[in-house]
Amino acid sequence: MKRATAALAAVTALFAAPASRAGFCDDLLASEPATSVCDAADDPAYDDGWQPGDDGGSGFAAGGWSFDAFHPENTGHDLASSTLNGDADEDGDLDTNGRAWRIHAGSNARIYADRAFAAPLPFATPLTIEIDTDAQPLYGGTGFELSSDPAYASTFAAYVLSTGNWGVVWPSTSAVDTGVPANGEPVRFAFTRIGEFQFRLDVTPRGGATRTVFGGVGNDLSHLRLVNSGGNPLRELFFNKITVPVPGGAAAVGAALASLAACARRRPQEKTRSRNSLSRGRSAVSSSARPSAT
């Protein structure tokens, strides 16, 4: 009954008239005007659905969203409520005004949703995104990637691993298991370039402690790609709330310097990375007592 009630509420919200609605990005820009990138599924650009070329939000390159698929007859993309995933609770999960982006794929299928930023991700400013999916036997990766061009191999990726947890991958490394489960509840990712060839990723599950991964990364990260590699039965990946603050603020720089110091403490034996090699980095995973984002 609870799942049926949640499903009915989600469908009603999706097709309700969007009269005088304050969107996620409207609220964010009102409270945090120093935001350079923001998009969410409740942007008016998606009121008629989520199609190729839709260009909601701000801070992105021209062209909007694009999609690609392997076995496209067994994949799809649309708007839906993330409360339909996992335990079907009614706490809103990662929805904004009752909806989130969804990419879904069946067995042996894969779907990509791509969007380019107007400029490469800057130093010391976190890209944040919320994702909700569950663990299934995988065909390839399911999660998100960052790269200079989606036509080439990703420079950074966060995927669901065979352990059922979220993992982090970058060039010439094995996946680092964060210990954060993909269990049908929202997870907030905050990716920050903390050095010319270094990154910090904070992974925060709903109601849980933040896990942090440090690693090596390329310089030009200008494309975001969401990936769903399918499952049997159908696997769904919901995501929402893509943001990047304006670079250069004192707080952001201070946080980046603190991250560099923490990274150095965790890897005292690591040599300085060459500009021509990203394969020498070693990871560090830590847990903090910070509360989860809602």
pLDDT category at 46 given cuts 50, 70, 90 is: very high
- The single residue listed with the structure tokens 């339909």 is 84
Q: Report which of 263, 251, 294 is spatially closest to residue 126, judged by C-alpha positions.
A: 251
114: part of which helix (H) or strand (E)?
A: strand 110-116
What is the spatial distance between Cα 113 and Cα 52, in angstroms, rounded to a whole number? 9
Quick one: pLDDT at residue 22? 75
- Quick check: 171 and 155 in contact, CB under 8 A? yes
Q: pLDDT at residue 55 above 70?
A: yes
- The single residue listed with the structure tokens 């390159």 is 61
Q: pLDDT at residue 14 above 50?
A: no
pTM for the predicted model, two decimal places: 0.80
For residues 83-111, average pLDDT: 84
Quick one: pLDDT at residue 137? 54
More confident residue, 91 or 99: 99
What percent of the chain is predicted at pLDDT more than 70? 72
What is the spatial distance between Cα 55 and Cα 50, in angstroms, rounded to a whole number? 10
- Residue 57 token pair: 């939000």
Output helix, strand, coil percentages for the chain, rounded to the nearest 5.
15, 35, 45
Report how far apart, in Å, the C-alpha atoms of 122 and of each of 118, 129, 145, 202 are.
Answer: 11, 16, 16, 17
Q: Which domains does the chain have, with CATH numbers?
A: 37-270+279-287 (2.60.120.200)
More confident residue, 82 or 231: 82
Lowest mean pLDDT among 60-69, 82-91, 163-172, 204-213: 82-91
Quick one: pLDDT at residue 128? 98
Q: pLDDT at residue 10 above 70?
A: no
Q: pLDDT at residue 123 above 70?
A: yes
Q: pLDDT at residue 91 above 70?
A: no
pLDDT category at 134 given cuts 50, 70, 90 is: confident
Each residue's pLDDT tens digit, 137-189 = 555 689 999 998 877 667 899 999 989 999 999 987 889 999 999 999 999 99
Range among 8-17, 218-227, 264-273 with highest mean pLDDT value: 218-227
Q: Report which of 93, 218, 201 is spatially closest to residue 143, judged by C-alpha positions.
A: 201
Each residue's pLDDT tens digit, 226-283 = 999 877 778 899 999 999 998 765 444 455 445 545 544 554 444 333 333 333 333 4
- Residue 157 token pair: 């990726």
What percent of the chain is predicted at pLDDT more than 90? 56
